[in-house]
Structure 1
Amino acid sequence: MTELAISPLNPPILPAATGNYTHGVEVTGGRRMVFVSGQVPWGDEQGRIPEDFEDQCRMVWRNVLAVLSEAGMSVENLVKVTTHLSDRQYRAANSKIREEVLGDHAPALTVLICDIYAEEWLLEIDAIAVG
């Protein structure tokens, strides 16, 4: 059995990747893939959705990590993360919280500014992990 290796791909002709991401990710030796559906700020005990972006963002990451944990994985298994923001004003807060969650781990990353299914949701995150 080949050991799992997740390697960053940062071609020298591209600007340096900053902010907890890499331009690409090569996975070798992986045996399982987990596709995390778009997670939204829904899931506290009372079914409330936080109004504050930072609280919503932390709740969404909690939900992503819960799916990974259910598969016996962690943030270190993430190879691709896509974040959908409802407004450009949330970019800095999103980056700050993502860096807190990911630490030194740097998956491939996409951030989009777009409409989101429910108006009260300020973001949605989907992801791909390998193990």
Structure 2
Amino acid sequence: MSDEPLKRREIAAPDAPPAPAGYAQALEVTGATRTLWISGQVPLDAARKAPEGFDAQARQVWSNVEAQLRAAGYTLDHLVKVTTWLADRSLAGEYRAIRAEVLGDRRPTMTTLVAEMFDPGWLLEVEAVAQA
């Protein structure tokens, strides 16, 4: 591993639209020696049960993302890219608020899509990339 500390630099091209809030348009990471790719995390707990309602499912998904990070020795501070699939566009505002609560001031790059879920009971899925 490198002794160089991990450095993050947000990039916002002046000739492209700015990020509305809560994420970076582009993020340059230097000094990273490890990369963790987290598969899509779905709203299931360890017993493979999905909670009822979007708020509970979103919190479960983020709990699962954090669990994968912890298992590899990472934290939310190491996130550089998050991709979210929502089952319905109407969930975007509620999701944005929950994501902001979980991430605080952290600003990884983000993509959010609306798509049919693998299981019709799931309302979202989140995958992530972290670097340390």
Classify the TM-score, shorter chain: over 0.9
What residue identity is the alignment partner of 1:63?
A: N
Residue equivalent to 1:11: 13
Instruction: Report percent identity of matched pairs.
Output: 41
Question: What is the aligned residue count?
Answer: 130
Question: Secondary structure of the equivalent of 1:101?
Answer: helix
Tell whether 2:80 aligns with 1:90.
no
Query: What is the CA–CA distance in structure 2 between the aligned matches of 1:108 and 1:63, rounded to whole Å?
Result: 19
TM-score, length-normalised on structure 1?
Answer: 0.95
Query: What is the CA–CA distance in structure 2 between the aligned matches of 1:103 and 1:75, rounded to whole Å?
Result: 10
What residue identity is the alignment partner of 1:37?
A: S
Residue equivalent to 2:109: 108
What residue identity is the alignment partner of 2:38?
A: V
Query: What is the CA–CA distance in structure 1 between the aligned matches of 2:12 and 2:108, rounded to whole Å?
Result: 11
Query: What is the CA–CA distance in structure 1 between the aligned matches of 2:5 and 2:44, rounded to whole Å?
Result: 36
Structure 1: which 4+ aligned runs deviate by more than 4 Å? none
Name the Cα RMSD after superposition: 1.1
Which ranges in structure 2 are unaligned for 5 or more consecutive residues? none
Is residue 19–residue 99 contact of structure 1 (8 Å, CA) maintained in 2? no
Which ranges in structure 1 are unaligned for 5 or more consecutive residues? none
Query: What is the CA–CA distance in structure 1 between the aligned matches of 2:121 and 2:52, rounded to whole Å?
Result: 8
The farther-off stretch of 4-13 and 96-105 is 4-13
